[in-house]
Amino acid sequence: MGANMKSIENINLKDVQAVYDGPEGRLWELIMGEQIHIGGLVSSMDLAQRAGVGAGLSGIDLCCCNGAGMRFLVRMQGVLKMTGVDATETVVESGRRRCAEEGPAEKIEFVLADACDSGLDDACADFVWGEDAWCYVRDKAKLISEAVRMARPGGTIAFTDWVEGPAGLSDAEAERFMRFMKFPNVQDIDGYRGLLEGNGCAVVVAEDTGRFGPYVDLYLDMVGKQVTYDVLKIIGFDNDMLGAIAGEMTFMQGLAHAGKIAQGIFVAKKN
């Protein structure tokens, strides 16, 4: 972990499960789409291309949510088989239903488990994948260790994540940001690089995608101009809550444009 990684107490797996079990999860999917990460398909394509993820490979998606990333990889990248690990039963059940409805169910398996302790075999995958989800995991050192353990020798670790930007967060900014997002901590790019290298990986890509600011602009525009009624419906037509959500997203927008938070992209090869 980065020596100065920002963290807060009293945020744990149950808090994250509550988000994706309830209205917050539906709200994020409304705003961001089925691929609940910054950049949607553009980001997924970029990560897959830079990591060399393609036809005939098998992979593991840690913190796979509803499986949208796995469906993308099977359908659009020709990946042979995907196994998704997530600790929230609601999204795992939803993912299984969606795979059955859309067709690629025979190539995709879901495992309900902690991403840090999946129970999957050593060296069982050509690549391990993640998209803007590892920020929810408290023990990032254990998470990276688990990802590397499951990759075959010469295999790839490929992920994007929300990270602290080069300008850095003050303690007060970090506290507010992480409380709203239900993040127990937030790593930075150098911190993730160190964890990957410490687990025997050669880091190929570790950088800011530059997407965070423009995409938060887009999400706020959608909430204010297009999907306002839909948001209100999800939150029980509570205008005060809508104002609070918009306020926190505007706060994040400011952090992103100031270089204090970012979306990082990482590709590493297991030695």
Q: What is the pLDDT of residue 3?
A: 55
Separation of alpha carbons 120 and 102, rounded Å: 26
Q: What domain range is 256 assigned to?
A: 6-270
Q: Is residue 152 a part of any domain in this protein? A: yes
- Written as six digits, the tokens of 53 are 């993820």
Which pair of tokens denotes residue 44? 């997924």
pLDDT tens for 20-53 read: 888 888 999 999 999 999 999 999 999 999 999 9
Rounded CA-CA distance 197/65 in Å is 27
Q: What is the pLDDT of residue 1?
A: 41
User: Which residue blocks in the chain are alpha helix, DSSP H?
Assistant: 13-21, 23-32, 40-51, 68-76, 89-102, 140-150, 171-181, 189-198, 212-225, 228-234, 239-257
pLDDT for res 22: 82
**pLDDT digits 0-9 by tens, 189-239:** 999 999 999 999 999 999 999 999 999 999 999 999 999 999 999 999 999
Domain tally, the chain: 1
pLDDT digits (tens, 9 = 90+) for 140-186: 999 999 999 999 999 999 999 999 999 999 999 999 999 999 999 99
68 lies in some domain: yes
pLDDT in tens, 46-55: 999 999 999 9
Q: Could you tell me if residue 48 is inside a domain?
A: yes
- Look at residue 1 and tell me if it is in a domain: no
CATH number at residue 242: 3.40.50.150
Q: Do 8 and 185 touch, CB atoms closer than 8 A?
A: yes
Cα–Cα distance, 6 to 168 (Å, whole number): 10
Separation CA 180–CA 17 (nearest Å)? 14
Neighbours of 22 (CB within 10 A): 12
Q: Residue 14, Cα to own-chain centre: how many angstroms? A: 17
pTM comes to 0.95
- Residue 15: inside a domain, yes or no? yes
Secondary structure (H, E, C), 101-147: HHCHHHHEEEEECCCCCCCCCCCCEEEEEEECCHHHCCCHHHHHHHH
Segment 241-255 mean pLDDT? 96
pLDDT higher than threshold 90 for residue 104:
no
Residue 127, domain member (yes or no): yes
pLDDT digits (tens, 9 = 90+) for 182-198: 999 999 999 999 999 99
